[in-house]
Amino acid sequence: MTVHPPEPDSTALMAELAAARAELAQLRTAQEQVAEREAELVAARDAAERIARTLSEALADRVRIDAAGRGRGSGLLKGRQKPVTRDEEAQLELIRGSELWDAAWYLRTYPDVIELGEDPALHFVRHPYYPVRHPSPRFDVRQYLIDHPDAVEQRINPLVHFLLTPESQGADAYPPKPR
């Protein structure tokens, strides 16, 4: 005689199916709420980044005006720095023309430069090594000096050294970001 397992209770199965469907509906609702919150956070982050860019550009414009000596009043930069040499002038032109230089970021990151009353680009040209200061969040001076010790040996500003190499062509960061 063959023994067959008892047939499942259809009422119990229907109740289990209904509970699973209800749980699935709750999970979908929760997923939609998380997606909505994520969209809100992304929008807030994007707005904050736009505001930060606008403020950085305004600060950079102010720095350029003050560095050029066209500012009114006391000015952001107090002009207590030594005269710029021809070599420094060439380096400044190269750095200021690079997307790897961000004057506003430099001043926000190193507020002592404002207190010193120095042009941020000239400060970076004159003091690139100690303490190590980055020209922007896209250029890691420490890593560059590790990878290119000849820049220290030749006493060349790391960003200037980089900008004078073929490696810099089309680069938007150092070290390059993996693609």
Question: Among the listed ranges 8-17, 36-45, 55-64, 131-140, which one has the minimum average pLDDT value?
Answer: 55-64
More confident residue, 75 or 132: 132
Secondary structure in 3-state letters for the chain:
CCCCCCCCCHHHHHHHHHHHHHHHHHHHHHHHHHHHHHHHHHHHHHHHHHHHHHHHHHHHHHHHHHHCCCCCCCCCCCCCCCCCCHHHHHHHHHHHCCCCCCHHHHHHHCCHHHHHCCCHHHHHHHCCCCCCCCCECCECHHHHHHHCCHHHHCCCCHHHHHHCCHHHCCCCCECCCCC
Q: What is the mean pLDDT of residues 42-69?
A: 70
pLDDT at res. 172 = 87
Q: Is the pLDDT of residue 29 over 90?
A: yes
Task: Write the pLDDT tens digit of every residue in 102-120.
Answer: 999 999 999 888 888 888 9
List the structure tokens of 71.
């500012």
Phi, psi of 128 (to 5 degrees): -85, -15
List the structure tokens of 20.
């699973």
Question: Among the listed ranges 3-12, 42-51, 140-149, which one has the minimum average pLDDT value?
Answer: 3-12
Task: Write the pLDDT tens digit of every residue in 59-85.
Answer: 666 666 665 654 444 455 545 568 899
Q: Is the pLDDT of residue 46 over 60?
A: yes
Using CA of residue 122, residue 125, residue 130, residue 133, what is the dihedral sign?
positive
pLDDT mean across residues, the chain: 83
Domain boundaries, the chain: 84-168
List the structure tokens of 36.
């909505």
pLDDT above 90 covers a percentage of the chain that reads: 46
